[in-house]
Amino acid sequence: MGRCGLGGQPVIETQGLCKTFRDFWRRPTVAAVRGLDLTVTAGEVFGLLGPNGSGKSTTIKMALGLLRPTAGTIRLFGFGPTDRRAKARVGYLPEVTHLHPFLTPRETLVYYASLFGLPLGEARRRAEELLEMVDLKGAAGRPVGRFSKGMARRVGLAQALVNAPDLLVLDEPTSGLDPVGCCEVKELIRLLASSGVTVLMTSHLLADMEDVCDRVAVLARGELRASGRTAELLRQPGVTRFLVDGLGAGEAESLRAELEARAGRPVCCDVPAVRLETFFMQVVSREGSARAFEVAPFLRAARQAREESGA
């Protein structure tokens, strides 16, 4: 996937990152992350994969300054994770969206915008654009506490974008969303990444990661087990697949027999199926449930500014 990024500069760098949790008496209980070396470069979508307790969320929390590393270093844009210059460029969507339940989505977004020091007018403008983007304009006056998990997730996503971040950290971004919402979020991630935003995300849904991530790292028991470009990691060496449109059953069978005779090995021939997600989206878009995704104008402006500065 080609990205118009910031020239491949490292956005997140970890070296020998370790995190050991301790009990009240300072005795070590769990080594959540062990000697993690990672580099996430500008403009890429980087996925952290791993089973429960593998250290994905702990790594993210250390990157955001919510946890302190036991050993090793972590740098964001060349700064420490608690440096305000780094924080000003980061958007974060946690695994569970804990929002103020008594605030409306509009107030929530204005509040988080104010934490970036934005003037009230600008904060309100961005809030409106983001509400439009995440399709919550109709529910903008209701308290977030009465929202479904999916709706709260959308508000969480909107707040992560309120500062037009250069780095978006998404912990299980599609958790709690319906398939349409999942697709929209993935589309948004792709759009943001194409505009130069670096994305670090975790997910249990491997298909989601496969769809959007340029690179992935697989963690298990706090250790890095594999990392690399998604396409390269998933390639099956020594296997070739032909896709031909419009062949009849007889023609296909004769071609298969021909190939088998030439290769001297069994050849598999089948009718490829679309993925269930694609099928679902085709159905709901026919019924008008899906909508074209519109990125908020201020995010487009930020993209333009990034492209100009990149140029």
The residues that touch other proteins, with contacts defined as CB under 8 A, are 19, 21, 30, 32, 52-53, 57-58, 61, 64-68, 82, 84-85, 87-88, 90, 92, 94, 96, 98-100, 102-103, 107, 110-112, 114-120, 143, 156, 159, 163
Q: How near is the Cβ of 125 to other proteins at its closest, in Å? A: 15
Give me 147's structure tokens. Answer: 């929202």
CB of 21 to other proteins, least distance (A): 4
Q: Would you state the structure tokens that stand for residue 221, as one six-digit string? A: 């028991």
Provide, rounded to whole angstroms, the least separation between the CB of residue 186 and other proteins. 22
Contacts (Cβ under 8 Å, ≥6 apart) of 38? 12, 13, 14, 17, 59, 217, 224, 227
The number of beta carbons lying within 10 Å of the beta carbon of residue 194 is 16
Cβ nearer to other proteins, comparing 67 with 216: 67
d(CA 69, CA 63) in angstroms, rounded, equals: 9
> Smallest distance from the beta carbon of 119 to other proteins, in angstroms?
7
CA distances 1 to 4, 45, 194, 213, Å, are 10, 10, 9, 9
Q: For residues 16 and 19, give the distance between their C-alpha atoms in angstroms, rounded to a whole number.
A: 10
Cross-strand partners of 45: 199
Instruction: Give me the least distance between CB of 246 and other proteins, in Å please.
Output: 51
Nearer to other proteins, 46 or 230 (CB): 46
- Distances in Å between the Cα of 149 and the Cα atoms of 92, 122, 153 are 17, 28, 6
Q: Is 172 left (phi over 0), alpha (psi -120 to 50) or beta?
A: left
The Cα-based distances of 311 to 4, 5, 109, 306 in angstroms read 9, 10, 31, 8
Residue (30 or 259) nearer to other proteins, CB: 30
CB of 58 to other proteins, least distance (A): 6
